[in-house]
A = this chain, B = another copy of it.
Amino acid sequence: MVVKVYGPAYGCPKRVLVCLIEKEIEFETVPIDLSRGDNKHPEFLKLQPFGEVPLVQDGDYTLYESRAIIRYYAEKFKSQGTDLLGQTIEDRGLVEQWLEVEANNFHRPIYDLVIDVVYAPIKGLPSDPKLIQENEEKVGKVLDIYEERLSKSKYLAGDFFSLADLSHLPFIHYMVNQMGKEYIIRNRKHVSAWWDDISNRPSWKKVLQLYKYPV
């Protein structure tokens, strides 16, 4: 059964795509255009009542929320492709910890930055320089903690690449590319080396080659 991934152009669905490639799972994609409101279409809302992407359909099993989907496939196909959960239950605990840090501490300010810096100008909306500065400072403080952590282990959860690292790819990509704020990464030696490492994985390069960002 080929996994169907909805909304491949966007940041959060790219988390799922890079995971499926790492796990060597066959998939196809269904384009969703948020600017056209495809995600508010009644047929879509039947599958994803919050009107968000990604969504996957795998036979008659439907799942949403990118970090839930990557956990599901990483566990279901634990011994196929790259192991993304660590070897022990304690490794997995740390993967979960850093995945939560990504979602709660990193993603919130970076998401607001992407909206304010990248999307507001396109939509003709005002962007707030004070808010941009505040969110940039928040991201910086989180990355200072990553810098310390990555001075002690090669990846966030330990010396193995995991869902916790993978989950950062789509939005750090925005920061380094569309936002023109690569310096936030480059100012931090260990974060910079970690970014080079994870963003050069063939899986991520393949995602970027196959599915352009909407902006």
Residues on A facing B (Cβ under 8 Å):
49-50, 61, 63-65, 67-69, 71-72, 75-76, 89-90, 92-94, 96-97, 99-101, 103-105, 142, 145, 148-149
Contacts and interface: CB of A to CB of B under 8 A. Distances in A.
Contact of A61 (B61, B67, B93, B103): B93
A103 B63 CA distance: 16
Nearest to A56: B93
A68 B99 contact: yes
B50 A101 contact: yes
Contacts of A90: 61
Given A49-B145, A50-B105, A101-B50, A96 B76 contact: no
Contacts of A92: 72, 75
